[in-house]
Structure 1
Amino acid sequence: MRLAILFSGQGNQQPAHFDALRQGASPELGATLAEAIPETWRAAEPSLAELQANRVAQPLIFAYQMHLWRQLQPALPRPVAVAGYSLGEMAACCAAGAFSLEAGVALCVQRAALMDACVDGPAGLLAVLGLRADVVAELAARCGLMVAIRNGPDHLVLGGHAAGLVEAEQLAQAAGASRVVRLGVGTPSHTPLLAAASSGFATLLAPYRSGRLAFPVFSAIDGRAARTVADGMDALARQISTPLDWDACLGAVLEMQPDVVLEIGPGNALARMWGERDNGVPVRASDDFRSAAGIIDWVCARG
């Protein structure tokens, strides 16, 4: 069986994901998270707003994904392709052996801090669906925004300061967009506004550059496959301030001819995007299942 794995990004995490991680985490992972996000980890019921804060969301989502991957990996075939959407590329590289789970949690804390330090005032991301790419690009320029992610020909994500996002939302709706959604991310990820964060993160990743990855990790920037740790780290640093072409990345994964695709959440946005391509390759998201055993059964049944 040829398996492809997609790791989701920020925005779809819910208190239920936090609860599942806190209940299922090993003592070692629990201690790592207690150090990384102490107030949140010890809170009785953290709010959704707290879970969406960059400083919490990044280490939390990464840990959730890797905790689930550790349960799945022994029972699944080695993937032929792995990709991660934005933050999800951290989990993709960790799963491929670039660094340990514990090191990854610490790196996510530092990644979030570097990104937050680049932004003075409210900022974020806005998804615009149903308009041509050139129309959205013109609208972005008018509002002082930048195209941050291309999910498809008529599905783009804009990044920038909050005032521009509000204006762009109104203009996109007036232009006939089928859907306009403010994403649950508080930084203008994948735009040049975060150039300093890319530089700083490259320095932090410098110790993790030796060896080969266990399987290819496809960059969300352009779908290029990293097979060495060094190439994976270069892509991780660049993607913080470089626009992503997720559509191209999915195309590159498809070229690896997977028999089945699994999204490791939170959420199922990537599974929906894959399904919309109507390529005949079955896809599900981990959030569709009640247990790791259910995921394993579904994947193995496809073989």
Structure 2
Amino acid sequence: MRLALLFSGQGGQTPEHWRQVDHGVAGELRAALLRALPTIGEGRLASPEMLARNRIAQPLIFVQQMMSWHRLRDRLPRPICAAGYSLGEMAACCAAGAFSASDGLALCAERAALMDAAAAGEHGMLAVLGLDEALVASLAAEAGLAVAIRNAPRHLVLAGPRSGIVSISDRLLAAGASRLVPLAVQTPSHTPLLAGAAVAFAERLAHMPDARLAFPVLGAVDGTAARTVRPALAALGRQIATPLDWAACLQSVRELQPDAVLEIGPGNALTRLFVELAPEIPARACDDFRSDDGIVHWIESCAG
């Protein structure tokens, strides 16, 4: 059975996901979460506005993903690869053994703090569907924005100052965009605005020990496979200020010919993108199921 994992990024988080974390996280991981977010147990993190804040979203999403992975890992076949969308690459590296879950949580909190410090003011991200990349890039540059993620040839994500996103929306619609989707993210991820954060995070990761990963991690920037810790960590630093070619990453997953693809984390956006690219390969998200048993039974059914 050839299983591939996808770990989602920011944007799909809901109050229900964080109730799951608050009620389910335990032991060393809960202690690490309380150090990163001391107010988690006070009921003040449940609003969508709070959950969009970088310093809250990144640690909580990572914990939610690790909780799911820890429940499932002994019941699933060893993955042939993992890939993570933006923040999700942290979880992919952790699942493959690059660092422990508690260390990863601390790193996510540090990552968020560095990103927030690198870009003062109000920023955001906007998904743009239905337009050619060259046109979107040109309009974005005029508004002080940048293409941050390429999900598909006509599905891009822009990032930059909130004022630029507001000013460009009507122009994108007038140019023929089929859909604009503001993301629940308040930082200009994967753009040069975060160059300082990328350098600082890379320096933080550079001193961690090298070792063989349990399975390859495909970098979100270009789909390159890391089989040891050092290149995987280097990719984590680089991607903070570098555009992601998620379409290329999904193509790398497809070329490995998995029997099934499982998305771990809030939402099912990555599953939908993968199904558009490779409808011949079964793909589902953990959020599609009511129980871990349902996930395991589905994967077993994909083995034929």
Q: Which runs of 5+ in 2 are unaligned?
A: none
State how 1:240-251 maps to structure 2 within 5 Å.
240-251=240-251
Name the amino acid aligned to 2:24. G
TM-score, normalised by the number of residues in structure 1 = 0.98
Superposed CA offset, 1:173-196 (max 9, x none) = 111100011111000000000000
SS at match of 2:273: helix
| Whole-angstrom CA distance in 2 between matches of 1:44 and 1:223 | 38
Superposed CA offset, 1:194-215 (max 9, x none) = 0000111012112324111110
Name the amino acid aligned to 2:181. V
SS at match of 1:244: coil
* 1:40 CA displacement: 2.9
* 1:113 CA displacement: 0.3
Name the amino acid aligned to 1:75. R
State how 1:1-303 maps to structure 2 within 5 Å.
1-43=1-43, 46-303=46-303
The answer as to whether partners of 1:194 and 1:240 remain within 8 angstroms in 2 is yes
| Whole-angstrom CA distance in 1 between matches of 2:58 and 2:113 | 10
| Whole-angstrom CA distance in 2 between matches of 1:207 and 1:66 | 23
Name the amino acid aligned to 2:208. Y
Superposed CA offset, 1:212-270 (max 9, x none) = 11100000000100111000000000000000000000001111110100000200000
Q: Which runs of 5+ in 1 are unaligned?
A: none
The answer as to whether partners of 1:93 and 1:99 remain within 8 angstroms in 2 is yes
| Whole-angstrom CA distance in 1 between matches of 2:45 and 2:53 | 15
| Whole-angstrom CA distance in 1 between matches of 2:89 and 2:174 | 35
TM-score, normalised by the number of residues in structure 2 = 0.97
Greater Cα offset, 138-147 or 231-240:
138-147
SS at match of 2:94: helix
Superposed CA offset, 1:8-35 (max 9, x none) = 0001111111111222212322222111
| Whole-angstrom CA distance in 2 between matches of 1:7 and 1:126 | 20
The answer as to whether partners of 1:40 and 1:56 remain within 8 angstroms in 2 is no
Question: Aligned residues, how many?
Answer: 303
| Whole-angstrom CA distance in 2 between matches of 1:283 and 1:83 | 14
| Whole-angstrom CA distance in 1 between matches of 2:284 and 2:205 | 32
The answer as to whether partners of 1:11 and 1:185 remain within 8 angstroms in 2 is yes
| Whole-angstrom CA distance in 1 between matches of 2:96 and 2:233 | 12
